[in-house]
Amino acid sequence: MIATLALCACSAGVSETPRPVAAIAGWAHLADAVTPREAPPEPASEVPNEAPASAQATAPTSACNEQLPQPFLIRSTYAFHPDATAEEAQHRKQRHRKAIEYRTRRYGFVEGFGDPAWNAREPKDYSAVATFFGIRVRMNARVLVALGCVEEAIRQACGDASYVPRVLDGLRLRNTFHDGEVSNHTYGIALDIDPNENSCCGCVPPLSEWPRCKEPAASPYERTRIPKCWVDAFERFGFYWLGNDPLEDTMHFEFLGDPDKITK
């Protein structure tokens, strides 16, 4: 099983001055602020959709689109598996490359992965800072719009007191995966919530050595403080919960939807 490096409960280390965000209803304008002056090259035919496009300048919260994560971006479809045959291992490598190309074209080039010809800009060039339940976090600007939709849904369906996050970790400037994978944090499309309280039992120590990881559990919800209501809200808007992955990374949500479909 592939294991992640120990997770940092700090910011991604981006030093430039953050772009403030005033309200959820106005988050869609963020994409305009970080749209590159030159669009990345057109994607290859096997990779769906086009390069990043700016969202509408004004988008009320009622314009949030619900969507499912795209299956070919889900980690379990391409990650290394020790029991895979040689043929299946080759297929997984091809699927991984496809996922990297998709993410590179839409979110930026990560050194050591993919091809800068797909997109020479770095993920931080597409990033901005917003607040999620009052906590500042840097992520891809368009994904922050989807995160605003998630917060609105949580407040409506779960209530403000259902869970109170304290630490968020979004964009990272270095990869935190082993064995040839690249973390979605480096693309600015992943969010960790309270890494010191929500387990990742398939990660490297010390996270995998938490007592809750050693005890039998009927579901990953027994090893996390994050309510199922929150997971359901994230999944409505294109995020995937790695609590359902073999890593059982319960703190981790990643946007695997289509960024062009976040708002109407």
Q: Residue 51: what pLDDT?
A: 38
Question: Given this model, what pLDDT does residue 196 score?
Answer: 87
**Mean pLDDT for the chain overall:** 79
Tell me which residue range forms the domain holding 70.
24-49+58-261
Task: Supply angle C-alpha 46, 52, 55, rounded to 5.
Answer: 135
How confident is the model at residue 23, as a pLDDT?
36
Bond from prior residue into 206 cis (ω within 30 degrees of 0):
yes
Mean pLDDT for 115-141 is: 97
What is the model's pLDDT at position 16?
A: 36
Is there a domain that residue 14 lies in?
Answer: no
In a domain, 202, yes or no: yes
DSSP H or E segment with residue 142: helix 141-157
Is 158 a member of any domain? yes
C-alpha pair distances (Å), 58 with each of 15, 33, 127: 28, 13, 18
In a domain, 6, yes or no: no
Residue 15 within a domain: no
Structure tokens at 95: 């699927």
- The amino acid at residue 88 is E
Residue 183 pLDDT more than 80?
yes
* Bridge partners, residue 132, by sequence: 135
In-domain check, residue 10: no
**Sequence-ordered list of residues with C-beta below 8 angstroms from that of 161, at least 6 positions apart, any chain:** none
pLDDT digits (tens, 9 = 90+) for 135-148: 999 999 999 999 99
The pLDDT score that the predictor gives to residue 178 is 65
* Spatial separation of the C-alpha atoms in residues 128 and 79, rounded to whole Å: 29
Per the structure, the count of domains in the chain is: 1
11 in a structural domain: no
Contact in structure between 101 and 118 (CB atoms under 8 Å): yes
Q: pLDDT digits over 153-182, tens only?
A: 999 999 888 899 999 999 999 887 766 789
pLDDT band, residue 88 (cuts 50/70/90)? confident
Going by C-alpha positions, the residue among 241, 257, 227 that lies closest to residue 142 is 257
